């Protein structure tokens, strides 16, 4: 039998509809913590060994003829501009038209892309691909655990797999599972049976880590051998800072018997609904977080890690709010390494001045976040430049390990006022800190710090929790709102509840 010909492509974006910075084509061309936009055969060279779904798919598909088309991903951010979306889709579709006869298509997508004009970006991508390949060619998709899935999207795909870890250490594994499920579909005469369910409450990102209960247990359930007639089940916990109809968690099952899929989906849904009270938000006010960290580090051997989830660039926030930094300075915190703050201007000034220079800079606060107050205004401060970096290094943590960072100018600044001992990394590229190499690039060994501060909501846990005495979630303002009942949603579906035990949303 001839080898199956499978076209492979990827288009990843996690869109925060509250974020002030829109996502343009150049963001996809750059990539950032993702690889740069890649087309054709170069995809096989670039992705094969990376912890990215398409990399896992490629490595598991040696017995197929793969037709690599295009892969594009950008840092999470605001709405994807229509021109960028249309251009990337155009290149993807042109590649499929030129691919010749295909037995299947694999798409490495995110699940939470919102485009100017399309609330459900992935649905539109798959619709355009379906238009080219027709209904008889199976489409397999892998998604991020933060996907906001619609029934229309689910209907268009033959099979879907979703990450089962947050932090996402199983991205490549999810691509491998997509290959496995696509193989089962190719070997099955008819389309596989499938079931789709949506949870009736939103899950704040700060409660979603699969390193903690109840998500740890609920995701472990998915690894169990499914019941007869069911081949695979997955859950997306959703991405709450997206003001769209199908925001929220959903689950899906594939199998060979419809009744078995429906029953298993209902059983999973029931266990997620039952676990609702266990999703407890861990956030404390920034000032309280600083005081807690200081009192713990008085006796602790290991660092305390404070995260600033509401300004997590990995969820599309700017990564430049100053609320937590201000709380550290005002609290006279000692032994603090804060990494990092998005501030190209400060990084450039530090590079121009050189190591050892004393400078007056105005840090962050360029993009007022919803609900932001004076505490988030740009912060004028006296600093000493302690180290400089060009932002080119290799990540080593469990999530990004092996990938190249291209973060532009970076600088380590020591705050030189107010009897505090606070060091801040500023960088030219907006980036979530989920990897200790961001500190090491500037000569700081994280395990020797007393207090580490990162702008991240969950991904930092994979690399930082193992070295931490304690992790504290600080509540400071930013455009990744995590207190869901306070968000001014306008476009959710009625009946959805805003967080575990939260109020019921009614659409105007």
Q: Which is nearer to Zn ion, 232 or 312 (CB)?
A: 312
Burial of 450 by CB count in 10 Å (0-12 exposed, 13-18 middle, 19+ buried)? buried
Could you give the C-alpha distances from 34 to 107, 242, 449, 482, in angstroms and in order? 16, 21, 28, 24
Contact 307, 460 (CB under 8 A): yes
Q: Which is nearer to Zn ion, 110 or 497 (CB)?
A: 110
Rounded least distance, CB 143 to Zn ion, Å: 9
Q: Which is nearer to Zn ion, 27 or 146 (CB)?
A: 146
Phi, psi of 30 (to 5 degrees): -80, -40
User: For the residues of 456-500, what is the DSSP string, one character each?
Assistant: -SSTHHHHHGGG-SEEEEEE---SS---GGGS--SSSPTT-BSST
Q: Residue 125 belongs to what H/E stretch?
A: helix 121-133
Closest CA to 395 of 50, 146, 144: 50
- DSSP state letter for 267: H
Rounded least distance, CB 168 to Zn ion, Å: 6
Q: Which is nearer to Zn ion, 13 or 326 (CB)?
A: 13
Dist CA 438 CA 452 (whole Å): 12
Rounded least distance, CB 482 to Zn ion, Å: 14
Rounded least distance, CB 15 to Zn ion, Å: 12
Rounded least distance, CB 167 to Zn ion, Å: 9
Rounded least distance, CB 51 to Zn ion, Å: 13
Q: Which is nearer to Zn ion, 64 or 71 (CB)?
A: 71
Q: Which is nearer to Zn ion, 144 or 170 (CB)?
A: 144
Residues 6 or more apart whose Cβ sits within 8 Å of residue 220: none
Bridge pairing between strands 230-236 and 250-255: antiparallel
Rounded least distance, CB 209 to Zn ion, Å: 11
In the beta sheet, which residues pair with residue 411? 388, 426
Rounded least distance, CB 76 to Zn ion, Å: 8
Q: Which is nearer to Zn ion, 197 or 459 (CB)?
A: 459
Closest CA to 344 of 391, 424, 439, 408: 408
Q: Which is nearer to Zn ion, 148 or 372 (CB)?
A: 148
Rounded least distance, CB 203 to Zn ion, Å: 12
In the beta sheet, which residues pair with residue 5? 65
Token pair belonging to 481: 């709102």
Q: Which is nearer to Zn ion, 170 or 386 (CB)?
A: 170
Rounded least distance, CB 144 to Zn ion, Å: 4
Contact 439, 425 (CB under 8 A): yes
- DSSP state letter for 28: H
Rounded least distance, CB 163 to Zn ion, Å: 7
Q: Which is nearer to Zn ion, 199 or 415 (CB)?
A: 199
- Contacts with Zn ion by CB under 5 A lie at 144, 146
Q: Which is nearer to Zn ion, 146 or 176 (CB)?
A: 146
- Give the start-end residues of each E strand in 38-185: 38-39, 65-73, 104-109, 139-143, 159-162
Burial of 37 by CB count in 10 Å (0-12 exposed, 13-18 middle, 19+ buried)? buried
Dist CA 69 CA 500 (whole Å): 41
Give the residue at shortest CB distance from Zn ion.
Answer: 146
Could you give the C-alpha distances from 379 to 157, 261, 320, 357, 364, in angstroms and in order? 48, 55, 10, 19, 7
């Amino acid at each position: 039998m001839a080898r199956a010909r499978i076209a492979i492509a990827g288009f990843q974006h996690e869109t925060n509809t509250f974020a002030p910075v829109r996502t343009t084509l150049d963001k996809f061309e750059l990539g950032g913590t993702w690889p740069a936009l890649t087309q054709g055969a170069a995809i096989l060279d670039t992705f094969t060994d990376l912890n990215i779904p398409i990399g896992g798919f490629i490595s598991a598909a040696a017995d197929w003829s793969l037709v690599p088309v295009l892969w594009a991903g950008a840092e999470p951010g605001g709405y994807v501009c229509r021109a960028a979306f249309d251009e990337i889709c155009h290149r993807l579709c042109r590649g499929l038209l030129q691919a010749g006869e295909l037995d299947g298509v694999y798409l490495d997508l995110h699940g939470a892309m919102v485009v100017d004009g399309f609330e459900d970006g992935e649905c539109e991508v798959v619709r355009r691909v379906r238009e080219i390949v027709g209904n008889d060619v199976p489409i397999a998709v892998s998604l991020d655990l933060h996907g906001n899935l619609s029934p229309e999207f689910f209907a268009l795909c033959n099979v879907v797999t979703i990450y089962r870890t947050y932090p996402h250490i199983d991205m490549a594994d999810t691509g491998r599972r997509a290959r496995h499920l696509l193989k089962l579909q190719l070997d099955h005469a008819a389309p596989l049976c499938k079931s789709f369910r949506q949870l009736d409450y939103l899950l704040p990102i700060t409660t979603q880590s699969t390193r903690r209960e109840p998500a740890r247990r609920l995701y472990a359930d998915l690894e169990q051998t499914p019941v007869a007639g069911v081949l695979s089940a997955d859950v997306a916990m959703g991405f709450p800072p997206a003001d769209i109809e199908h925001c929220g968690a959903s689950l899906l099952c594939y199998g060979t018997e419809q009744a078995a899929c429906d029953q298993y989906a209902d059983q999973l849904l029931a266990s997620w609904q039952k676990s609702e009270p266990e999703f407890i938000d861990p956030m404390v006010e920034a000032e309280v977080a600083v005081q807690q960290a200081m009192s713990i580090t008085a006796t602790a051997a290991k660092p305390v890690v404070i995260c600033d989830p509401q300004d997590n660039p990995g969820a599309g926030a700017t990564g430049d709010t100053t609320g937590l930094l201000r709380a550290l300075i005002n609290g006279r915190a000692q032994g603090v390494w804060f990494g990092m703050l998005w501030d190209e201007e400060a990084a450039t000034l530090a590079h121009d001045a050189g190591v050892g220079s004393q400078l007056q800079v105005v840090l962050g606060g360029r993009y007022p976040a919803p609900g932001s107050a004076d505490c988030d205004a740009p912060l004028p401060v006296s600093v000493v430049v302690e180290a400089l970096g060009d932002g080119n290094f290799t990540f080593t943590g469990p999530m990004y390990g092996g990938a190249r960072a291209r973060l532009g100018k970076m600088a380590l600044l020591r705050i030189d006022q107010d009897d505090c001992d606070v060091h801040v990394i500023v960088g030219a590229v907006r980036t979530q800190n989920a990897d200790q190499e961001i500190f090491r690039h500037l000569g700081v060994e994280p395990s020797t710090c007393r207090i580490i501060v990162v702008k991240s909501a969950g991904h930092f846990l994979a690399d930082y929790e193992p070295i931490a005495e304690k992790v504290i979630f600080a509540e400071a303002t930013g455009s990744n709102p995590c207190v869901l009942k306070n968000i001014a949603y306008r476009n959710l579906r009625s009946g959805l509840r805003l967080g575990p035990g939260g109020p019921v949303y009614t659409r105007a």
